[in-house]
Amino acid sequence: MLDPSIDSLMGKLDSKYTLVTVSAKRAREMQINKDQRIQNPKSHKYVGKALEEIDAGLLTFEKENR
């Protein structure tokens, strides 16, 4: 089972596409910079840590107005 759950993650962002994009970008940043914003993550993988950061409210996304 996914932890955090998809339902709790969808409450933070507007779509699954946004969720995937934001978490993948943050996972790449963590891999390159060797940093994480959450203390004691449950996951040992970068994408899992990024999802935990989204669930904790540490990552947000704002749409650009074009």
> pLDDT tens, 11-36?
888 889 999 999 999 999 999 998 88
Residue 65 located in a structural domain:
no
- How many domains, in total, are found in the chain? 1
Domain of residue 45 covers 6-55
Residue 29 located in a structural domain:
yes
Residue 62 located in a structural domain:
no
Residue 24 located in a structural domain:
yes
Q: Write out the two tokens for 29.
A: 């940043």
Rounded CA gap, 24 and 45, in Å?
A: 11
User: What's the pLDDT tens digit per position in 34-53?
Assistant: 888 888 889 889 999 999 99
Residue 63 located in a structural domain:
no
